[in-house]
Structure 1
Amino acid sequence: MQKLNLRRVIAKKRKQFPRRVRRPVLSVSNTLQQLSDSCREAFKGPGTVPSPQDVQRLRHILDNMKPEDVGLSRDLQFFKPGNITKENQRVTYTTVCKCDNFSLCIFFIPEGGVIPLHNHPGMTVLSKLLLGLMHIKSYDWVDPETSNNLLQQPSQLRLAKLKADKVFTASCDASVLYPTTGGNIHEFTAITPCAVLDVIGPPYSKEDGRDCSYYRDHPYASFPNERTGEAKEENDSYAWLEEIEMPEKSKMDGIEYLGPTPTPF
């Protein structure tokens, strides 16, 4: 009799709390699997930079990457022209896969949204604009000796050379930045809703000294210098960067990744 009552209780609970339905396993495209496998071969851990051959292979894979490879479509409401989003909507991100040596992340930037000027300490990063129209500004630090030759460095500022300041469309090739070159400090501004796939190696890690810093740029000519008669083009190719606290608009919301996941993740 006691066993019978127990069975009734269990049956009643099952009706109240049905079994969780498993999400169907999505098939992984060859391109996404190739990207994951190549990242495992290319990224050897902190303090290392992938070989030129490995970088070229990764860029080639990313150049052929399509939104559908990570479960995205331009038909999604977020990417539709004229999509009205709430004011000051934050950037969101999702992690496709991550290990100690690299991570694959997708950033969703609403129209008018900004990922402020920030750096990638000790990292090699490849970016692929999957959807949208985006303005990118990027800088590299000027070494101290060159900086001193250009002019007296103002307090709390550091000289940087402009690497990119233009608009990119989703048809563009992947870009790459290195720990000290290629535009390690960059800013994204979405002209239309955008999705950007980042390959980051190694990933950010506050514990390992790879925390993100933020900057405000000032025009090169904003401060008096010791040289005269520089061409305007030369002035425009440099800027003073001031390290700042994390801007409010830099805060992001993480969301669950629902697309296909490469093995062995």
Structure 2
Amino acid sequence: MFDCQMGMEKVSGERKKRRMRQKKVTAVQKLYDTCTEVFADCGPGIVPAAEGIERLKDILNGITALDVGVRPNMAYFNTGGLPIITYLHLSECDKFSIGIFLLPPNGVLPLHNHPQMTVFSKLLFGTMHIKAYDWVDNTTSISTPKPDSSEEPVSLRLAKLKVNADFTAPCNTSILYPTDGGNMHCFTAITSCAVLDVLGPPYCDPEGRHCQYYRTHTFTDLSDDTTDDEKKLLPDGEKTENYAWLEEIDKPKGLTVIGAKYSGPKIIEKLGCGSG
């Protein structure tokens, strides 16, 4: 009986240890582990399976600022009125990257793209305005003189407005896809904001996935009056204000993004990924 009791105590002790190990799995570790599974068979332009997207979305919807060690009173937000944005690098491999953008009030991440990527963005705290576009299918670029100058013609491409609204945390995770959902977006912080981003795959200049910035021109900027040819570019019944011409530009001179060390709960990574 004594041996039996000792055996039961041993089993009970092992169960307690397992439960303790399970409890130690942090939200950010669970996010990382899920990313390794969801993006395992993905690559440029390949969207994860619907089940995987739902898994990641559910995890991100439940993550709070506390789970990743950020808060509105951090020194990163005291920029003396300058729109300096801070990026906390959590993890990156060839399949995905995880990071957090910290935007002070009036901080702006200008309109930029996410080539061949699926992107999950979770607003952890604050209020921000998001404006996002997708390219109009089967519409080629056009060359036209700049509406406000006599310089050489520029190449413009037609895009449709997908999102143009204020968002206040807590709110659900937004998802954009390689060709849908607002692949090109702009973030404007109204208050101090923190945004947790998951990109699959991450930017990679050698593979042609570099961050491109854009300047918008209203649909009617090309002429004083919208021509019949221009109207043919739009689906029947569509309003011109839902469309814009996008011009590729260099990185805006006023954009300052600095990297900082992530100091939240540690991520235990698999071979091939590295944290900041």
Q: TM-score range by the shorter chain?
A: 0.7 to 0.9
Answer with 61-70 or 31-40: which moved more.
31-40
Q: Does 1:170 align with 2:148?
A: no
- Counterpart residue number, 1:263: 268
1:16 counterpart residue number = none
Alignment map for 1:136-215 (pairs within 5 Å) = 136-145=130-139, 154=144, 156-215=155-214
Amino acid at match of 2:177: Y
Distance 2:121 2:42 in 1: 19
Determine the structure 1 residue equivalent to 2:215.
216
The residue type equivalent to 1:32 in the other structure is V
| SS of 2:55 mapped into structure 1 | helix
Structure 2 segments unaligned to the other structure (5+ residues):
1-22, 145-153, 271-276
Query: Which AA in structure 1 matches 2:263?
Result: L
Q: TM-score, normalization: structure 1?
A: 0.80
In the TM superposition, 1:243-258 aligns within 5 A as 243-258=248-263
What TM-score, normalized by structure 2, do the two folds share? Answer: 0.77
Deviations 1:61-95 (A, max 9, x none): 1111100110123454656xxxx631324111011
Distance 2:200 2:74 in 1: 29
Runs of 4+, deviation exceeding 6 Å = 230-233
Q: CA deviation at 1:161?
A: 0.2
Q: Distance in 1 between matches of 2:29 and 2:261?
A: 20
Q: 1:183-217 deviations in whole A, cap 9, x for unaligned?
A: 00000000001000000111111111110100001
Render the CA deviation track for 1:95-139: whole Å, top value 9, x for unaligned: 111111111100011100100000001111000000110000000
Q: 1:42 aligns with which of 25, 38, 45?
A: 38
SS where residue 267 of structure 2 aligns?
A: coil
**Separation (CA, whole Å) in 2 of partners of 1:92 and 1:74:** 13
Please say if residues 136 and 187 of structure 1, whose CA atoms lie closer than 8 Å, have aligned partners that are also in contact: yes
Superposition RMSD on alpha carbons, in Å? Answer: 2.5
Question: Match of 2:11?
Answer: none
8 A Cα contact 1:128 1:196, kept in partner = yes
Instruction: From the superposition, tell whether residues 144 and 56 of structure 1 become closer, same or farther in structure 2 (CA, over 3 Å).
Output: same
Q: How does 1:68-147 map to 2 (within 5 A)?
A: 68-76=66-74, 85-145=79-139
Greater shift in the superposed pair: 254-263 or 104-113: 254-263
Q: Secondary structure of 1:249's match? A: coil
Distance 1:156 1:91, change over 3 A: same
User: Distance between the aligned counterparts of 1:28 and 1:111, measured in 2?
Assistant: 35
Q: Percent identity?
A: 46
| Contact 2:117 2:201 survives alignment (8 Å) | yes
Residue range with higher mean Cα deviation, 207-216 or 249-258: 249-258
Q: Number of residues paired by the alignment?
A: 231
Alpha-carbon distance between aligned partners in 2 of 1:120 and 1:62, rounded to the nearest angstrom: 19
Q: What does residue 60 of structure 1 align with?
A: 58
Cα–Cα, structure 1 residues 115 and 253, in superposed 2: closer, same or farther, change >3 Å? same
Q: Aligned partner of 2:59: which letter?
A: I
